[in-house]
Chains A and B, each alone.
Chain A
Amino acid sequence: MNTTYLYLLVFAILVGGTDIEVNLASVQNSVPYGEYVSILLGLAALKAALIAMFYQHLKYEPRSLSTWVLVGLVMASLLMSLSFIQLHIGH
């Protein structure tokens, strides 16, 4: 696939995803809040992954580099998840 075409395709998906998010917001009340937030964050994560894999070229980079990036993500989620646990369990 021609790279420009690929980038345009990714762009289309990103815009489409954003459109879905906004439409979801308008029917927010018919979905349980927890699920609503999860879907939104899931969509965001998907979009982020697309940008990272294709625009930042991670899909085609050596495995060592993408692993390296993953480590950073794991560390960030450590802080968030443990603090989250602290908030919701106990006391």
Chain B
Amino acid sequence: MSNEIVPARARRWLFTTNHKEVGILYLVTSLFFFVAAGLLALTFRSQLSVPNNNLLSPDLYNQFVTVHGLLMIFWVLSPFAFGFANYILPLQIGARDLAFPRLNAMSYWFYLFSGVAMIMSFFFGSAPDLGWTLYSPQTSAQYTPSIGLNIGAAALILIVVSITMSSVNFLVTMFKMRAPGMKLRHMPVFPWAILITIFMMLYAFPSFLAAVLLLYVDRAFGTFYFSSIQGGALLWDNVFWFFGHPEVYIVLFPALGLIADVIPTFARRPLYGSKYIIGSMIAAAIISFIVWGHHMFVTGIGVTSTKLYTVTTIAVSLPFDVMVIAMIETLVKARVKLKAASLFALGAVALFVIGGITGVYLASVALDHALRGTYFVVAHFHYIMVGGSIMGLIAGLYYWFPKFTGRMYHENVARIHFGLSFIGFNILYFPQFLLLDMPRRIATYSASTGWGPLNFTSTIGGFIFGGAQVLLFLNLFLSQRRGSPSGPNPWDAWTLEWSLPSPPPPHDFDTVPTIAEDGTYHFGNGQGYPNGSRIGNGYAHSHLEGLSPWPIVMAFAAFIFFLGLTIGQPTSPTPVSYKPFWPLIFDGAILGVISLYGYTREKFSVHEESRVESWPFKEVPNVKLGIWTFLGAEVIFFGVLIGAYFFVRTNSPTWPAVGSLFTIRNGFAMTLILLTSSLTAIMALVSAKIGSRNGLIASLLGTFGLGVAFLYVKAGEWIELGSSGVFSVANGLPATSYFITTGTHGVHVFAGMAMTIYLLANTFKGRYLKGDYHAIEHFGLYWHFVDIVWVFLFPLFYLI
């Protein structure tokens, strides 16, 4: 192992697809964003420390506060957790890597470039400056003409793409690649937490993607979904928070799972009530989707709705009760070792309790009428997100540092880090509960409010807390070079990753373990621990294997494509519109096509273990499961678009009569065209299965041709409606909703047609006819879905 060839650093880190290296990339990058966002915070905390301060202009203040929130939530909390998930999770479930390693690397690069875009927004006019919640209509082009928000939107779209790819990847991995005998109930709590988090991500993020996309279209094309008098502001409120509430659980659960595994290790006893903890997480995850109205208690949704949300929100605290009590009971008759990891884990539980209790306050409508938009809310969620999540993730950092590096950190420095962090944290945030009269997001305040002393105290705490993190970085950075060797299992822990050397070899397990009915496991030939000299079945035995340039190239292509869409300066003051920057758009598109081509042509084989646990998807192949998972997210995405249409339509006093704007005949024609194309698509599969080359070519050509026909009719409609003036995009909600919804659908049709070309090209080379028809089948799944969406769009837009 020590004389293997390691590729040059740059090539290795830029092209790796190994889950451990991708994990390290996520961890390091997220810590970088943590420092950046933290510095923003220290700056505005300084601004707030005394009344009538002018350290930061109100304009910059608003930007700092907004970007701080966006960075922390999207670019720090989840990526930090998924750094661990990438590295550790496959080891804990006995998998070789993730199901789709290149997709995994691509997720990371999308994440990195999206963060670059977010930071770039500072330098193009003004960064987003309306809070991470981006309420309408202040986010419309009319009120926020600066392109910084467009670039911010691009950054958000890119990171949602990254997250969606990760979701599909982890889901397939966890359901289809567990080691033999590793039933779901055998998994430690951390993988369970990740699995539950992925479910939430899958169903929440498409809503956010739809929201950001609609916001971008509103700004760029002058539509006004969110700025319309007909309920636009509340539409954003609903769509955003439908995503927003599960999102805050998404950034919390991995840390909770981590804490649930760290505490037993340092208590030297099994976790108390582990199945109740997991059950509670599942319950909380499900309930998290029906509580979002508590962010809208004062929007005037009516007493009945608010009472409903009070009940669901208070109910969701029950599972968390169970989790906390179970974690604490683990300590009974235990042998509690207070190392850095357990200090942070237990500290996180304590702070989480405070955060959780104060959350219950906010669930009460009457209390919320006083507390909404005040620092009480700020304190509540920082107790959860920093006190619970960040502290939990830092526990993970200390816990797994020896496994990543093979070295021990300096324990006493780490304990001091904990003490300072814990004390500094409480000095920073507890006073904010007492500032329950002070509005959030105000750049300064007058002395007569009396808010000065508490703000000053809070800022002091901020500097203590922020300063303490220097100890973390120094400790880990220096220990990585000079720490004493840790050995494979310094904590005498029992989850699978500790059975490997520290750090693990590139291929992880020599042989994947087999877990017996009674929970014991062995590797290969019955030995308890892997024999380092035996190389068993697996891949990526060295760092050289599994390198691919396409993930980073593809991500870069998307980055410059979206930058081109959003970087153009406003062309006219009113109404504001933006010029796209075509050179970047073209370059991005071309590079994207090239990398897509390279990606699909690359000979990258993923070794699939023959014996795996795959309940409940035993008979479902990996890629098919991945595609259906992706389609599930698409259902939410289109559901939001259609729901938005319902919403604005119900809120509009008048709407054009059936047949007055669109001829039913056009809609009928388009429906027939698409239905026929579904028939040709399924006939393509039939032809492939029976090996008929001509049949396959004809069907694919038919599908393509029908797609062209569909887009042709649609284009004609668009041109006619647009040029008639009465119905221009900027003029009315009927136009807006129609263009956006059918436009998004049209993009999907176009993508499908590109796929047909690719399949045709391969068919000419003789593929798909000898039992390898799966690509045709997968294409069909996507294409039929696009057809199903149109089956709903047709009556919704043409007939009612």
Contact = CB atoms under 8 A, between A and B. Distances in A.
Contacts of A69: 628, 631-632
Contacts of A90: 301-306
Contact of B620 (A14, A65, A76): A65
Contacts, number: 152
Interface string B666-697: 00100110011011011100100000000000
A51 B787 contact: yes
4 nearest A-B pairs in the assembled complex, by CB-CB distance: A90-B302, A72-B632, A76-B639, A91-B302
Given A28-B658, A55-B681, A90-B304, A40 B675 contact: no
Contact of B780 (A56, A76, A82): A56
A30 interface: no
Interface in A27-42: 28, 36-37, 40-41
Interface string A38-67: 001101100110011011110001101100
A58 B397 CA distance: 44
Given A11-B679, A62-B618, A75-B289, A55 B686 contact: no
Chain B contact surface mostly = helix
B646 A86 contact: no
Nearest to B289: A78
Interface string B212-244: 000000000000000000000000001000100
Interface in B471-522: none
Given A4-B683, A25-B659, A28-B799, 6 more contacts: A14-B678, A21-B799, A25-B658, A44-B792, A56-B780, A86-B302
Contacts of A56: 780-781, 784-785
Interface string B743-767: 0000000000000000000000000
A51 B613 CA distance: 31
A1 interface: no
B617 interface: yes
Interface in B643-673: 643, 646-647, 650-651, 658-659, 664, 668, 671-672
Contacts of A52: 784, 788
Interface of A: 3-4, 7-8, 11, 14-15, 18, 21-22, 24-25, 28, 36-37, 40-41, 43-44, 47-48, 51-52, 54-57, 61-62, 64-65, 68-69, 71-73, 75-80, 82-87, 89-91
Interface of B: 203, 207, 238, 242, 289-290, 293, 300-306, 308, 616-620, 624-625, 628-629, 631-633, 635-636, 639-640, 642-643, 646-647, 650-651, 658-659, 664, 668, 671-672, 675-676, 678-679, 681-683, 686, 777, 780-781, 784-785, 787-788, 791-792, 794-795, 798-800
Contacts of B676: 11
A22 B663 CA distance: 11
Given A7-B686, A79-B639, A84 B616 contact: no
